Amino acid sequence: MVYEKVILLINEEKPNDEKQKLMQQVMPILGPHIGELILKQAPSEEKLKQVCQNYHDVDLFIVYGGDGTVHLVINEFGQMEDPPKLAILPGGTCNDFSRVLAIPQNLKKAAETILNNQSQPIDMASINDNYFLNFAGGGLIAETSENIDDQLKQSLGKVSYFLSAIQQFQQSNSMKFHVTVDDEVIEEEAVMVLVMNGYFVGTHQFPLPSISVQDGYFDVIFVKESNLQTIRDWFSLSNKSGRANEQGQIKHVQGKHIKIQTEDAKEIDTDGEIYLETPIDIKVMSKKLNMIVGEGFKEAGTKPSNIKNRGTPS
């Protein structure tokens, strides 16, 4: 047996035909290699919390759902001293963090990846009294998530994110952000500030080679203006061997303790979910999670020499 005791948590909001497809594709692969497989559906956020708390002693905790479902699970795991090993079966619109982990988006291949039992220690973040796994952001990113049309999301999937982003990019105005990165204070007029742990948003990979979910650091990105030059500057970052402190309309710093304030309370997007407002206090939780990864997972390497080391990750 690859695993003795496993729980598979399913977002109950999924249509029945989608759940049936999951069972047909995944169970024949996983079933023969698991001693005890427990299936649980989460009809509510409260039920999901109960499942996480009651089954923290399993060999593997599998989540079938999108980034929102994963976000809810890690908000429970973040409170545990020793959370169980976690695997994602991608079942959402974008499945961004599963992409960071190099989990195949095909369910059968994702199940096979889980059987390989290759795991890595993964950083996560505390944000005020909550947690996130992939990113937190204010300004344009929060406006984009807030203005996604639910019906459009159902019919067009990830395309809806791009349409909303384009619309908000054209309409967005800058605001003043007061940001503390470790001991450095930054006052910046920007249309968006992102605190990145992962490097996929809306299925798009960020063009910054320094971003890692294993290095104990966040990558903090300021986007100063919403214009075509910003887009050019953004994609030119991929040509850098390390990181650019200043790249035209883009500013980029790294740290492990981030505070963000604005003159008025502004919404903050965490992993695509909006329920927090500024001010926010973000701290890295280095290697808090143990997660199943795919063959193409980008392990943390040596930091490029032009990146300022702000201390030893905690």
Closest CA to 65 of 101, 89, 37: 89
> What are the two backbone dihedrals, phi and then psi, of residue 188, each rounded to the nearest 5 degrees?
-145, 135
**CA 65/CA 203 separation, integer angstroms:** 15
Pick the catalytic residue from 18, 273, 277, 299: 273
Pairing mode of beta strands 60-65, 3-11:
parallel
**DSSP strands (E only) in the chain:** 3-11, 34-42, 60-65, 86-90, 119-127, 130-132, 135-139, 175-181, 184-190, 192-196, 200-201, 204-205, 218-223, 246-247, 250-255, 257-262, 267-270, 273-277, 280-292
Q: Distance (Å, rounded) from C-alpha 254 to C-alpha 211?
A: 9
Count helices and strands in the chain by DSSP H and E runs: 9, 19
Asked if 112 is an active-site residue, the reply is no
Distance CA(292)–CA(84), nearest Å, equals 11
Q: What token pair was written down for 200?
A: 């996929």
Cα separation, 134 vs 69, whole angstroms: 13
State the residue for tokens 């910054």: 208
> 127-163: string of b/e by CB count within 10 Å (b at 16+)?
beebbbbbbbbbbbbbbbbeebeeeebeeeeeebbeb
Number of Cβ atoms within 10 Å of the Cβ of 239: 10
Active site (catalytic) residues? 273
